[in-house]
Amino acid sequence: MALGMMVDGKWTTEWNERDRSGKFNRTPTKFRDRITADGSSGFKAESGRYHLYVSLACPWAHRTLIMRKLKGLEDVIGVSIVDPILSDKGWAFSEQPGAIPDSVNHTQYLQDIYVKADPKYTGRITVPVLWDKEKQTIVNNESREIIRMLDVEFTEFATLENNLYPKELQQQIDDTIDKIYMPINNGVYRSGFATTQDAYNDAVTELFENLDHWESVLANQRFLCGNQLTEADICMFTTLIRFDSVYHGHFKCNLRRIVDYPNLWNYLKDLYQRPEIKETCNLDHIKRHYYMSQTQINPTQIVPKGPVIDFDERHDRDRFNA
């Protein structure tokens, strides 16, 4: 495996996103173009034009798979799924169960997609990637922006009428996604990738303070922004579904488990049990990726058998519709 990056279009395993204090600082994504319904951005929403490259293991990529399902865009936007275990050249395509080879560019490694878009690319090779088959380039590799495009700009092609960015909640949704990003979505990584005790202590403390906050919020409403499912819930879900199986042990986020939070646990089950969301979840890919790819944390690559978690257990969130 290799946690690496590209420098001037060449692969290197010299990867480091930690500062001198041992804190993990995520490198910003670099492809930030936008698809619009009217094409005014230069990238028009069209059926069959775009392709998603994702990992079932990655929480950021998982967001885009969920939105694609919730909008009913499976026949509009194609998908390729990388192998869960990083190769010596990063994310790779394979024939392993759950993986889907690159049927568009026929590459072996995801890095080839980045170099095709920019032969001198410098940066990390990450998922998700939204590819334009017409212009032969990467449109965007920022999950938050991709789910917004799928939610808002592809309405003409959506076969399911799920609006996760309703006009009356838009500011609240944006604010909530901002609020959960650093302490929770990125907070688990800041805890797990910390290389000093102080950096770890700061990150894990902030993480659980924020989980405690949302536990209180969810005592009084079904979802993060009220009683309607929104993009913010998708952003929270992909962290929570991985928490007890991976982040609690592998990343040392072990003050509490999600199952120890009555409201967060029932909220998680409520989301998971929606067929469009459940179908995108693959705990085998998730566990094998983290425990077998991140050898700087788990050098033996041993994947734990547990925990046993019943996400299909009855939840109590229907009480908010009474």
Q: Which of 50, 53, 58, 235 is catalytic?
A: 58
* Amino acid, res. 101: P
Please pick, among 121, 189, 290, 291, the residue that the annotation labels catalytic: 189
Q: Give the sign of the dihedral formed by CA 144, CA 67, CA 82, CA 267.
A: positive
User: Can 50 be counted among the known catalytic residues?
Assistant: no
Rounding to the nearest 10 degrees, give the CA dihedral for residues 208, 214, 219, 223.
-140
Q: Is 58 a catalytic residue?
A: yes
Separation CA 223–CA 191 (nearest Å): 26
Q: C-alpha angle 165/167/171, rounded to 5°?
A: 80
The set of residues, in sequence order, having a beta carbon less than 8 Å from that of 243 and lying 6+ positions away, is 188, 253, 257, 258
With vertex at residue 320, the alpha carbon angle to CA 73 and CA 241, rounded to the nearest 5 degrees, is 50
The length of the chain, given as a count of residues: 322
Distance in angstroms (rounded) separating the CA atoms of residues 40 and 312:
44
> Which of the residues are catalytic?
58, 189
